[in-house]
Structure 1
Amino acid sequence: MGRRRESNFDDPPRFHRKGNVWYHVSGTSPRIWSKLSSDRAEALRLWAQREGVKEDESTRLFSVVAKRYVREVFPTKAVGTRRDNDKELANLLKVFAHMPIDAIQPMHIRGYMDIRGQVAKVRANREKALFSHVYNKAREWGFTALQNPCQGVKGFKETGRSRYVTDAEFAKVKAHAHFTVVDAMDLALLTGQRPADVLKLKRADIRDGALWVVQNKTAARLAIEITGELALVIARILERPKKITGLYLIQDELGGPLRKDALRSRFDKARTSAGVSFQFRDIRAKAATDTGDLAHSQSLLGHKTRDMTEHYIKARMGARVRPLR
């Protein structure tokens, strides 16, 4: 008999993690560790192939549908989305795991939302959205023909961010920041990209007079012309002496990519020293607002619609109107 797990109790048998990689481990001696993937969703899919496992779909439990969802749908999502969905699905399974999919009714969703909302209203909304998608997949896969129980169940009202970063606040934080944070702030402002997209920029992305970006969230592709202040910032970054020259534009002292947690820690330290309260992600909104041109902002941010960009800007600056006379 194998040893009892000390962690990851929900993992299936012969599915083990070592470091950041998941393995399939043979049940016979000597045990053979076969590498699956560093992505858990993909690793589960490969594990199921090796094991020849097929869930007992006759039970039609929510947990059965959820496991199939993890195997088949998770791999199609972005890494950050999968990470969030993992946590959301864990909370849903605590309540719905052993319920037949046909037995889940709108009143159960309402009850879940009310209880979960006492602690985290926004997370409750996200978990309801994930449940709804899982249920729709259950309908596609033939587990149920009933209407989605989330239909008609209202989520909690969310208040979007409306923080506008002034030039003075931006400069104050930069004055107290580590050079890697200064580089990241300048690139985020001049390109209008999200923090994760700024951190993944590589030197190889500079070509044909442009900085080429593929956004993580939407997969939108942009070629941002390297002119004006952006050209000066990139030249400053490339010319800065480094002990080790890595692949990334913004890199740590060892030449590796600056990690998200390192950026956040260094930014928070500078923000505290400067006595300023904005978040790094607010820089993207500042970029959109400061262009003064809605079409330019839409292109720079990679928004699909003009309305999305207009809402994004109005939330921070309000509508510009003429006086009566």
Structure 2
Amino acid sequence: MAPRPRNTGSKDLPPNLYRKTDARNGVTYYTYRDPISGRVFGLGKDKEAAIQEANAANYAEAIRPTLTQRINAPTQTASKLFSEWLGEYREVFAERELSADTNKNVGMRINRLAVVFGSKGIKDITTMDVADYLTGMAKEGKAQMARAMRSLLRDVFVEAMARGWVTANPVEATRAARVNIKRERLTLELWKAIYEEATKPWLRRAMELAVLTGQRRNDIAAMLFKDVHDGFLHVVQSKTGARLRINTALRLESIGLDLATVVKQCRDRALSQHLVHHAQPSGRAKAGQPLPLDALSAAFAEARDRAAVKMGIKFGSQPPTFHEQRSLAARLHDAEGRDAQKLLGHRSASMTDLYRDSRGAEWIDVA
């Protein structure tokens, strides 16, 4: 908008700057009028300062887009809410046909993301937003959870990019939290001592299966006699869905046991479908019923603590749990020349390497 014609008294002033003299005291004041909005701004009594201010404002006005430019500018569409995409992502994830436990865990993590980022536009979520969220979780001592949430968030945005919701993944530039592994490893010597302290037959069977097969606690508790046929124990891992056939001739010389013998020892007077089961009534449990996971862990911990006292061992804040037998199995089978990765059902060798790592719990023989 062109400035109005200058009055005679304002010829020495830049466009849009005006002077006004107060008739009561004879003091001259300067004002600037915005040609677009019509608003008037007082610039005080200093002429030189007012001229500088006006020139600066006029320069900014000169580079301001014209009305035609603003009309023709592309319309900025509002970013879709992150919560909307999470609704679609749940369906995408369900199509992967993973185990019920995995779907349940991921579902709970998606709920967390909905609480934290759900009200934001998916395009408005920045790398800093993600980094702040993950860093805060790690500082609370939840580094493992921070890694899991980062992995999930990264996949959420990968799928969003594939469907055109976003053009970039803000998670890529973030760093995975460092996890300080605290749980102590289980050595073969300690395992044998715990085995001697295992007074319940079902605990011994569970320990034997754990070290021979290298399977997780819930998979051991779920093993059925009907899963043993054609010379193999068939296992479908609940966590990953990996399908394993473990030869019943599998033997560990370090403990002097083979899988076929252990399966045979699992049969007792109690009629049961489960390899690991109550041999006699116990509380509300009837003979033949499977063992709850917590019962396996608690019985193992009690035997472990008794063995530690006899061996003069003092554990730290994270003593070895029932799950540590999986790592011991990987190391024992590896030492006897077997492929620990296949036995554990890992997709990557790097994961198996983590289980092979004794974390300084075992002596290293040097020739």
TM-score with structure 1 setting the length: 0.71
| CA shift in 2, pair 1:267/1:96, >3 Å | same
Structure-2 separation of matches of 1:224 and 1:77: 22
Letter in 1 for 2:325: I
Query: Residue 210 of structure 2: SS of its match in structure 1?
Result: helix
Structure-1 separation of matches of 2:233 and 2:210: 13
Letter in 2 for 1:62: F
Residue from 72, 83, 93 that aligns with 2:114: 93
CA RMSD of aligned residues (A): 2.7
Which residue does 2:85 correspond to in 1? 65
Which residue does 2:127 correspond to in 1? 106
Instruction: Say whether 1:233 aligns with 2:268.
Output: no
Structure-2 separation of matches of 1:70 and 1:60: 16
- In structure 1, list runs of 5 or more residues that go unmatched: 1-57
| CA shift in 2, pair 1:307/1:90, >3 Å | closer
| CA shift in 2, pair 1:321/1:290, >3 Å | same
Which residue does 1:283 correspond to in 2? 325
Aligned residue runs from structure 1 range 131-142, under 5 A = 131-142=153-164
Instruction: Say whether 1:271 aligns with 2:304.
Output: yes
Q: Is the 8 A contact 2:234 2:246 kept in 1?
A: yes
Query: Residue 339 of structure 2: SS of its match in structure 1?
Result: helix
Aligned residue runs from structure 1 range 153-168, under 5 A = 153-160=174-181, 163-168=184-189
Letter in 1 for 2:321: Q
Structure-2 separation of matches of 1:307 and 1:130: 20
Which residue does 1:251 correspond to in 2? 277
Structure-1 separation of matches of 2:154 and 2:350: 26
Query: Residue 147 of structure 2: SS of its match in structure 1?
Result: helix
Which residue does 1:81 correspond to in 2? 102
With 254-263 and 91-100 compared, the bigger mean Cα shift is at 254-263
Query: Residue 266 of structure 1: SS of its match in structure 2?
Result: helix
Letter in 2 for 1:256: Q
Residue from 129, 132, 146 that aligns with 1:124: 146
Query: Residue 152 of structure 2: SS of its match in structure 1?
Result: helix
Letter in 2 for 1:312: Y
Which residue does 1:298 correspond to in 2? 341
Higher-Rg structure is 2
Instruction: Say whether 1:312 aligns with 2:334.
Output: no
Deviation at residue 315 of structure 1 after TM alignment: 4.6
Question: As a proportion of its length, which structure holds more helix?
Answer: 1
Structure-1 separation of matches of 2:116 and 2:350: 38
CA deviations over 1:22-60 (Å, ceiling 9, x no partner): xxxxxxxxxxxxxxxxxxxxxxxxxxxxxxxxxxxx972
Query: Residue 73 of structure 1: SS of its match in structure 2?
Result: helix
- In structure 2, list runs of 5 or more residues that go unmatched: 1-77, 252-256, 279-284, 309-314
Deviation at residue 118 of structure 1 after TM alignment: 1.9
Structure-1 separation of matches of 2:150 and 2:352: 26
Deviation at residue 305 of structure 1 after TM alignment: 5.0
Structure-1 separation of matches of 2:172 and 2:112: 20
Structure-1 separation of matches of 2:350 and 2:133: 33
Q: How many residues are treated as equivalent by the alignment?
A: 262
